[in-house]
């Protein structure tokens, strides 16, 4: 979720927002004071009660204030520089200044606010603020010289902590990577490209979020979906039913609708979100990122993007991906043979024996129903959201030795948003806002977003984290509560894992706290917590039928565990395919045809699947703007996640002793220590892929 300190300003995938602080710049050698006001719920809520005019009016004020902060840092004589007035001041500018606060708050409003005018004002302000960072921070050689002067002359006299030294070294490397040592003329070209890319990326993301396309079908075309679900669908004047591309609707149809043409039509709509406008934007992003990287001294954007990560080079990342894909090939072939041995009546293979992509989820679900009497939609009845959330919090309460308090909240951007306070030893350590249901123009994926980074002030007091957990689960109906599929419960565990990383990962460096770590490491805590849901005792605990309250029966749980690896080969090969797409789009060469590359890699990694010529999924592949070339990080970090999970399970998934060790050695360090050191310190050895391969049945 964090690239480098300076790249953090341009990393939209983590959706890092900040809360209002009073920040005053002085031009003397004194510290720049920072006062956090966002501890109480009503103060947090006030961050989001902005009109479009508020956004437009406040933006130049925040920019002017930030300019003064930069000028104050530069104006200090080199012999008077200290960690407080130079390094900490820059850290707070990046993460706790009103400009950073406003910018990320606006990013949140653009993704979540239901009002068009508010979203548009937030979008425009975000672009304006990005331009400030380029012009006054990322290209500011005087600021760079001030920081390097401090680092070279004063650091030995202050007895700095390991985290402070890590921050200084990381910041210097970030400045260099961003081109501050380039000639002025070249740096100006870099700055123009940065601003162009900020605009293009924001437009790309907005086009995905606001694509509300749908299809209309007859009642007969909805066979297999159930009357309760059909009753929630809108009908037009001709009596046709509307199926949208929101996640709950899409996956319900793909897994359960027995009418192939309905699945086909909705698949085409879903895989064309953002198309065609985002195809052109993506091509421009590829061209400009390539030009940017070459100006910065890299052969291509993938080398620039991965240089500061655990993998260090795209060659190492691709070799890692290829190795896992090769190991998964035979398993994938076995899965396809198993699933196609008895094909459901509405599934037709292509003449060369391949599965159509709109049949994959349906044939898997049908296999579970037919051969194991396992109906995921029936299982969802055991996961009413209120019960699942309550039990999830109780699991974390025990394992992490923390507590949760729900608070009444009104006045946030939507009435569906709820607030939970996180308590440890009687003290507030974080506040979570939960925005869990779909609506038009809302960010359509699941995500965790940090608003206030949990960090420690110089006097040791904690600034509690403030985060948002975003999902798109089915809303309650008149007859049923919100019922979560197991995959949705897993999604919730995943995003809550990010939130707890943010809350429990407070460091003394605000911009290196919580999830502000290497991108190919950041998914580890969330992916590790997903593994809880394949444990029998945990499944018993988090389930409870919405009518009877009874947990999942033993025989169903046993079947779930037995079928855990039903499609693990496909999972690995698909992730390898997506990872290689990202590496290829941002590899050598500036002029690329996204469809042609997708087609070639699809044939290579998914040979058992047919590629629809109408598929333009890359137009809605939001990770391309946020993670860039680093999508491989999902598989990379999952290998480490399973290594850690296996160690934890030896002690017990609710054991607070191993929980505290995990917090101490992994979460509490945030991004302020080398991830390789964190893994070694927790495991007592170098990590390896044995647990991953065993777990995946490879």
pLDDT tens for each residue of 43-65: 888 888 899 999 999 999 999 99
- What letter does residue 513 receive in the DSSP assignment? S
| C-alpha distance from residue 254 to each of 198, 265, 384, 513, 687 (Å) | 35, 10, 21, 39, 38
- What value does the mean pLDDT take over residues 308-329? 97
432 shares its domain with 491? yes
> Confidence class of residue 334 from pLDDT cuts 50, 70 and 90?
very high
Per-residue tokens: 187: 């740096």
Instruction: Kindly state the helix (H) or strand (E) to which residue 398 belongs, with its residue range.
Output: helix 385-400
Count of domains in the chain? Answer: 4
- How far apart (Å, rounded) are the C-alpha atoms in residues 306 and 314? 6
595 shares its domain with 650? no
Q: Which of 270-279, 410-419, 672-681 has the lowest mean pLDDT?
A: 410-419
- What value does the mean pLDDT take over residues 199-214? 93
Q: What is the pLDDT of residue 29?
A: 33
Contact 85, 31 (CB under 8 A): yes
> Confidence class of residue 314 from pLDDT cuts 50, 70 and 90?
very high
Q: Considering the domain boundaries, does residue 281 fall inside one?
A: no
> Confidence class of residue 38 from pLDDT cuts 50, 70 and 90?
low
Q: What is the pLDDT of residue 469?
A: 93
Q: Considering the domain boundaries, does residue 113 fall inside one?
A: yes
Q: Which of 38-52, 210-224, 454-468 has the lowest mean pLDDT?
A: 38-52
Q: CA nearest 441: which of 114, 70, 99, 40?
A: 114
Is pLDDT at 26 greater than 80 in this prediction?
no
| C-alpha distance from residue 566 to each of 552, 639, 698 (Å) | 20, 19, 12
pLDDT tens for each residue of 161-172: 999 999 999 999
> Confidence class of residue 3 from pLDDT cuts 50, 70 and 90?
very low
CATH of the domain at 43: 1.20.1050.40
pTM: predicted TM-score of the whole model, two decimal places:
0.90
Q: Which of 3-17, 604-618, 623-637 has the lowest mean pLDDT?
A: 3-17
- How far apart (Å, rounded) are the C-alpha atoms in residues 230 and 234? 9
* Adjacent-strand bridge partners of 466: 431, 452
pLDDT tens for each residue of 557-583: 999 999 999 999 999 999 999 999 999
CATH of the domain at 539: 1.10.1370.40
| Percentage of the chain lying above the pLDDT 90 cut | 81
423 shares its domain with 357? no
Is pLDDT at 255 greater than 70 in this prediction?
yes
Is pLDDT at 403 greater than 80 in this prediction?
yes
- What letter does residue 7 receive in the DSSP assignment? G
As a whole number of Å, the end-to-end CA separation of the chain is 29
Q: In the listed set 208, 233, 256, which residue is the last one of a domain according to the structure?
A: 208
Instruction: Kindly state the helix (H) or strand (E) to which residue 178 belongs, with its residue range.
Output: none
- How far apart (Å, rounded) are the C-alpha atoms in residues 30 and 27? 8
497 shares its domain with 613? no
126 shares its domain with 22? yes
Is pLDDT at 10 greater than 50 in this prediction?
no
Q: Considering the domain boundaries, does residue 620 fall inside one?
A: yes
Per-residue tokens: 672: 């302020």
Rounded to the nearest integer, the mean pLDDT of the chain is 91
Q: Give the range of the structural domain holding residue 334, as residue numbers without chain letter.
A: 312-374+568-628
Q: Considering the domain boundaries, does residue 344 fall inside one?
A: yes
154 shares its domain with 256? no
- What letter does residue 12 receive in the DSSP assignment? T
Count of alpha carbons within 13 angstroms of residue 95, beta-carbon side:
30
553 shares its domain with 595? no
Beta strands 427-435 and 465-470, pairing class: parallel
346 shares its domain with 250? no
534 shares its domain with 669? yes
Provide the angle, in degrees to the nearest 10, between the axes of the packed helices 633-651 and 656-665: 140
103 shares its domain with 185? yes
Is pLDDT at 356 greater than 90 in this prediction?
yes
Q: Considering the domain boundaries, does residue 282 fall inside one?
A: no
Burial class (CB in 10 A: 0-12, 13-18, 19+), 613: exposed
* Region class of 660: left (phi > 0), else alpha (psi between -120 and 50), else beta: alpha
- How far apart (Å, rounded) are the C-alpha atoms in residues 18 and 514? 13
33 shares its domain with 117? yes
Q: Cβ contacts of residue 420 below 8 Å, gap of 6+?
A: 393, 404, 405, 406, 407, 431, 432, 434
Q: Which of 32-46, 239-253, 317-331, 608-622 has the lowest mean pLDDT?
A: 32-46
Q: Considering the domain boundaries, does residue 554 fall inside one?
A: yes
Q: What is the pLDDT of residue 154?
A: 65
Number of C-beta neighbours around residue 410 at 10 A: 10
> Confidence class of residue 544 from pLDDT cuts 50, 70 and 90?
very high
434 shares its domain with 473? yes
Is pLDDT at 686 greater than 50 in this prediction?
yes
Kindly calculate the radius of gyration of the chain based on its CA atoms and give it in whole angstroms. 25
Q: Considering the domain boundaries, does residue 380 fall inside one?
A: no
Q: Considering the domain boundaries, does residue 38 fall inside one?
A: yes
Provide the angle, in degrees to the nearest 10, between the axes of the packed helices 675-683 and 656-665: 150
Higher pLDDT, 547 or 411: 547
Q: CA nearest 163: which of 424, 450, 456, 428?
A: 456
Would you say how long the chain is, in residues? 698
- How far apart (Å, rounded) are the C-alpha atoms in residues 353 and 348? 9
| Percentage of the chain lying above the pLDDT 70 cut | 94
- How far apart (Å, rounded) are the C-alpha atoms in residues 449 and 13? 9
């Amino acid at each position: 979720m964090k690239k480098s300190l300076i790249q953090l300003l341009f990393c939209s995938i983590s959706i890092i927002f900040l809360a209002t602080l009073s920040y005053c710049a002085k031009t003397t050698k004194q510290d720049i004071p920072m006062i956090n006001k966002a501890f109480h719920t009503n103060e947090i809520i006030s961050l989001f009660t902005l009109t479009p005019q508020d956004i437009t009016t406040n933006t130049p004020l925040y920019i002017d204030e930030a300019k003064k902060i930069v000028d104050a840092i530069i104006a200090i004589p080199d012999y008077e520089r200290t960690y407080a007035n130079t390094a900490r001041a820059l850290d707070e500018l990046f993460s706790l200044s009103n400009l950073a606060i406003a910018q990320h708050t606006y990013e949140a409003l653009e993704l979540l606010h239901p009002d068009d005018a508010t979203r548009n004002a937030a979008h425009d302000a975000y672009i304006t603020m990005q331009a400030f960072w380029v012009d006054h921070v990322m290209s500011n050689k005087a600021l760079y010289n001030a920081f390097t002067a401090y680092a070279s002359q004063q650091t030995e006299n202050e007895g700095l902590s390991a985290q402070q030294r890590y921050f200084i070294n990381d910041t210097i490397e970030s400045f260099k990577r961003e081109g501050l040592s380039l000639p002025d003329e070249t740096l100006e070209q870099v700055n123009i490209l940065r601003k162009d890319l900020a605009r293009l990326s924001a437009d790309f993301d907005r086009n995905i979020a606001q694509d509300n396309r749908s299809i209309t079908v007859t009642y007969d075309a909805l066979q297999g979906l159930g009357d309760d679900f059909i009753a929630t669908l809108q009908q037009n004047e001709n009596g046709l039913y509307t199926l949208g591309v929101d996640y709950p609707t899409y996956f319900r149809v793909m897994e359960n609708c027995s009418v192939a043409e309905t699945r086909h039509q909705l698949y085409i709509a879903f895989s064309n979100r953002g198309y065609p406008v985002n195809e052109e934007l993506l091509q421009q992003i590829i061209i400009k990122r390539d030009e940017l990287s070459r100006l910065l001294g890299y052969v291509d954007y993938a080398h620039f993007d991965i240089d500061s990560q655990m993998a260090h080079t795209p060659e190492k990342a691709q070799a890692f991906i290829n190795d896992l894909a090769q190991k998964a090939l035979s398993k994938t072939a076995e899965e396809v043979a198993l699933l196609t041995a008895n094909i459901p009546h509405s599934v037709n293979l292509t003449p060369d024996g391949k599965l159509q992509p709109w049949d994959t989820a349906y044939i898997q679900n049908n296999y579970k129903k037919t051969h194991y009497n396992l109906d995921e939609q029936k299982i969802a009845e055991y996961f009413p959201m209120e019960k699942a959330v309550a039990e999830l919090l109780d699991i974390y309460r025990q394992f992490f030795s923390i507590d949760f308090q729900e608070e009444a909240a009104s006045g946030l951007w939507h009435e569906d948003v709820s607030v939970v306070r996180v308590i440890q030893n009687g003290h507030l350590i974080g506040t979570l806002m939960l925005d869990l249901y779909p609506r038009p123009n809302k960010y359509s994926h699941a995500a965790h977003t940090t608003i206030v980074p949990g960090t420690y002030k110089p006097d040791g007091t904690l600034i509690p984290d403030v985060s948002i957990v975003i999902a798109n689960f089915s809303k309650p109906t008149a007859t049923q509560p919100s019922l979560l599929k197991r995959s949705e419960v897993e999604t919730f565990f995943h995003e809550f894992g990010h939130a707890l990383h943010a809350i429990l990962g407070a460091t003394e460096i605000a911009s290196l706290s919580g999830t502000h770590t290497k991108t190919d490491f950041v998914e580890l805590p969330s992916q590790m917590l997903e593994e809880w849901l394949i444990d029998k005792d945990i499944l018993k605990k988090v389930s409870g039928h919405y009518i009877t309250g009874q947990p999942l029966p033993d025989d169903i749980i046993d079947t779930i565990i037995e079928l855990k690896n039903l499609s693990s080969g496909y999972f690995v090969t698909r992730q390898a395919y997506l990872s290689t797409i990202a590496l290829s789009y941002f590899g050598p060469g500036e002029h690329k045809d996204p469809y042609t590359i997708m087609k070639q890699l699809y044939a290579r990694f998914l040979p058992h699947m047919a590629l629809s010529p109408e598929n333009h999924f890359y137009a809605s592949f939001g990770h391309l703007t946020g993670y860039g070339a680093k999508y491989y990080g999902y598989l990379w970090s999952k290998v480490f996640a399973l290594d850690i999970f296996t160690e934890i399970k030896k002690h017990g998934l609710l054991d607070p002793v191993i929980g505290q060790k995990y917090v101490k050695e992994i979460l509490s360090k945030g991004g302020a220590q080398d991830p390789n050191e964190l893994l070694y310190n927790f495991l007592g050895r170098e990590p390896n892929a044995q647990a991953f391969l065993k777990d995946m049945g490879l």
